[in-house]
A and B are shown apart, each in its own frame.
Chain A
Amino acid sequence: MTKTPRYWRENQSRYNMIGAKCANCGKAYFPPRTMCPDCGRKSIGKMEEFKFSGAGKIYSTTVVHEAHEQYDMQKPYIIALIELDEGAKILGQIIDSEPEEVKIGDRVRSTLRKLGEEGKAGIIYYGYKFAKE
């Protein structure tokens, strides 16, 4: 993986799960979009900041054994697609559970954790991960 882009360190979505909601149709998106793919130009200027609760259920999951260098220390680790209660899907790591304990349909909730760092003693960056409820 490449180094985390600088602007990404300032990205609020990653810390607070802030997405966007289309005021035209009510659909919620994560990550935020400036335009609703369903409503097109009717949604321009009508996308509102929307904070997801961070709760949802597992849609699919995998145990990663061959990882990018910076995740080497964590492997094997669990990655999942999570269907958030407000209706968007999101990808994240599942923590505090063994692989055999994690199943499709399980309830999870987001938590702020260290994601990684840029090399040894490099900048640490943070973001959401998920744990079973």
Chain B
Amino acid sequence: MRRVAIIGTGMTEFGELWDLSFRDMGILAGFEALHDANVTSEKIDAMFVGNMSAGRFIDQEHVGALIADYAGLAKTHIPSTRVEAGGASGSLAIRQGFLSIASGMHDIVVVGGAEKMTDVGDDEVMNIQSAAADQEWETVFGATYPSLFALMAHRHMHEYGTTREMMSSVAVKNHKHGSLNPKAQFKREIRPEDVERSPPVSLPIRTLDCAPISDGAAAVVMCPLDMAKNFTDRPIEIIASAQASDTLALNQRKSITEMAATRVAAKRAYEMAKIQPKDVDVAEVHDNFTITEIMAIEDLGFFEKGHGGRASLEGKTGLQGEIAVNTSGGLKSRGDPIGATGVAQIVELVQQLRGKADKRQVPDAKIGLAQNVGGTGATVIIHVLGVGR
């Protein structure tokens, strides 16, 4: 297997981008990544595009070819593949790019992720998000996507004594990080009482426990590590890529206070990277709801099971904490354009490992980890990044 490096990144601002179409966003992020990588478009061998539901958000399917076309690549006829795994679509695209280079099939690969969510009403957004859960046995009975995470949150509170205050601390921390990220959707800090007074969505989850509805795109350029020095002085290597699945419906799981797929994917990733959880300096984890980050930092082994909430409240996951979690602001504050999210996590880690994360830089960051969740944990994908040598 060949070693794989990331040599360039690009990303639109995340938010309500009413002046940009789906294809505009994809192209902006892609060109920024190519420019960053010093790669010209005729050198690209293949593309992978992470997207959950362009068909329902903008009535457009076949977006792999669409993005390649508008990137000016129709004339080179490269293979361009759209992949989907609910909220984990972006990191699935990263993983497909990684595998295609590691296998020796392709050399220069562009991986993009994009979602245009604000062309439909909020009600329809919730319908589409819920389609990543089990339509036949969950949503038909009145479950919404947030309500499934509320069931996890309530049980987590019941089993481990996790509190409202602990959940709020995750939102407050991620907004603080987002305020330092020029591309974040929310650049404003919030207080715990803002979270606690925000309207109920599905209790105990309130509006400010939730990631927003976002438009956005992100992209990276990858190549074999031994070619990377031709393009950049500081290639970032993908030292592990792991993916795990679980039952689609929440009710089929033994435990709902953990994501077993996170635990399993993390074990595979740590083995592949030959590291321990404590070696991770900076992590981007899936915080579509505050409880999801609490479960993630436990299931990834950063904190003992049941201690994630307390660790968050005590500031252990902040920029000055034991492990910096969601320095970008996370899904919560950077924004969550579904298919772009997993790629945006990688973009943030690359900035951190290059030492270019500006005001949110984690000093001397050497190992970064990204965890991206589809549905309620039926797909989890983890990547570990390190400085390429």
Interface residues of A (CB under 8 A from B): 1-2, 4-5, 8, 31, 59-69, 71, 74, 76-77, 79-81, 88-93, 99, 104, 115, 127-129
The answer to whether B146 touches A115 (Cβ under 8 A) is no
Q: Is the Cβ of B127 less than 8 Å from the Cβ of A1? A: yes
Whether the pair A60, B203 counts as a contact (CB closer than 8 A) is no
What residue of chain B has the Cβ atom nearest to residue A71's Cβ? B142
User: Given A63-B202, A91-B137, is A79 in contact with B154 using a C-beta cutoff of 8 Å?
Assistant: no
Q: Which residues of B contact A (CB under 8 A)?
A: 123, 126-127, 130-131, 135-144, 146-147, 150-155, 158, 199-205, 249-253, 256
- CB atoms of B201 and A65 under 8 A apart: yes
* Nearest CB of B to A60, in Å: 4
A2 contacts which chain B residues (CB < 8 A)? 127, 131, 135
Return A74 CB to nearest CB of chain B, in Å. 7
Closest to B203 in A: A63
Partner of A69, one of B123, B138, B146, B251: B123
Do B137 and A68 touch (CB < 8 A)? no
Q: Is A60's CB under 8 angstroms from B151's CB?
A: yes
Question: When the two chains form their complex, are residues B141 and A79 in contact, meaning their CB atoms are under 8 A apart?
Answer: yes
Say whether B201 contacts A93, CB under 8 Å: no
- Compute how far the CA of A60 lies from the CA of B159 in the bound complex, rounded to whole angstroms: 11
Complex interface: chain B residues within 8 A of A77 (CB): 142
Tell me whether B155 and A1 are in contact (CB under 8 A): no
| Docked complex Cα distance between A60 and B204 (Å) | 11
Other contacts beyond A93-B141, A104-B158: 15, CB < 8 A: A31-B136, A59-B256, A60-B154, A61-B151, A62-B204, A65-B200, A66-B200, A67-B142, A68-B130, A68-B142, A81-B250, A91-B138, A91-B141, A91-B249, A115-B142
> Given the interface contacts A1-B130, A2-B135, A65-B203, does A90 sit within 8 Å of B251 by beta carbon?
yes
Task: Decide: A66 and B202 in contact? CB cutoff 8 A.
Answer: yes
Task: Kindly state the separation between the CA atoms of A32 and B249 in the bound complex, as whole angstroms.
Answer: 13
Flag if B144 contacts A91 (CB, 8 Å): no
Instruction: Note all chain B residues with C-beta closer than 8 A to A99.
Output: 203
**Please, which residues of chain A bring their CB within 8 A of the CB of B143?**
64, 79, 91
- Chain A residue with minimal CB distance to B134? A91
The reply to whether B200 and A63 form a contact with Cβ atoms under 8 Å apart is yes
Q: Residue of B at shortest CB range from A105?
A: B158
Total number of residue pairs linking A and B with CB closer than 8 Å: 106
> Chain B residues near A65 (CB, 8 Å)?
199-203
Assess whether A92 is in contact with B141, with CB atoms less than 8 Å apart: yes
User: Do residues B155 and A93 form an inter-chain contact, with CB atoms below 8 A?
Assistant: no
B72 to chain A, nearest CB (A): 37
- Residues in B neighbouring A127, C-beta threshold 8 A: 140-141
Q: What distance in Å separates the Cβ of B134 from its nearest Cβ neighbour in chain A?
A: 9
- B146 touching A66, Cβ below 8 Å: yes
The 8 residue pairs across chains A and B that have the minimum distance between CB atoms? A62-B150, A60-B155, A65-B200, A89-B251, A60-B151, A63-B203, A64-B202, A91-B251
The chain B residue with its CB closest to the CB of A72 is B123
A66 to B126, Cβ gap below 8 A? Answer: yes
Neighbouring B residues of A61 by C-beta, 8 Å: 151, 154
Among residues of A, the one whose C-beta sits closest to the C-beta of B247 is A37
Residues of A with C-beta under 8 A to B150 = 62, 64
Once A66-B201, A91-B251 are accepted as A-B contacts, the answer to whether A60 and B130 lie under 8 Å apart by CB is: no
* Interface pairs (12), CB distance under 8 Å: A2-B135, A60-B154, A60-B158, A61-B151, A63-B200, A65-B200, A66-B146, A67-B142, A81-B155, A89-B251, A89-B253, A92-B141
Give the residues in chain A near B151, CB-CB below 8 Å: 60-62, 79-81
Instruction: Please state if B139 and A68 are interface contacts (CB–CB under 8 Å).
Output: yes
Do the beta carbons of A89 and B147 come within 8 Å of each other?
no
B residues near A8, Cβ cutoff 8 Å: 136, 140
A93 to chain B, nearest CB (A): 5
Q: Please give me the residue from chain A that is nearest to B126 by CB atom.
A: A68
Within the complex, the shortest CB–CB distance from B66 to chain A, in Å, comes to 24
With a CB–CB cut-off of 8 A, which chain A residues contact B144? Answer: 64, 66-68
Q: Given that A2-B135, A5-B136, A8-B136 are contacting pairs, would A81 and B200 also be in contact in the complex, using a CB cutoff of 8 Å?
A: no
Cα A93 to Cα B144 in complex, Å, equals 12
From A31, A64, A115, give the contact of B137 (CB < 8 A).
Answer: A31
Bound-complex Cα distance A69 to B144 (A): 11
CA distance A129 to B142 in the complex (A): 10
- Check B140 against A62 for contact (C-beta < 8 Å): no
Q: How far is the CA of A63 from the CA of B199 in the complex (A)?
A: 13
Contact among B142, B199, B251 with A93 in the assembled complex (CB-CB below 8 Å): B142
Closest to A8 in B: B136
Residues in B whose Cβ lies below 8 Å from that of A71:
142
Chain A: minimal CB distance from B253 (Å): 8
- Tell me whether A68 and B203 are in contact in the complex, defined as CB-CB below 8 angstroms, given that A91-B143, A127-B141 are known contacts: no
Complex Cα gap A68–B121 (Å): 12
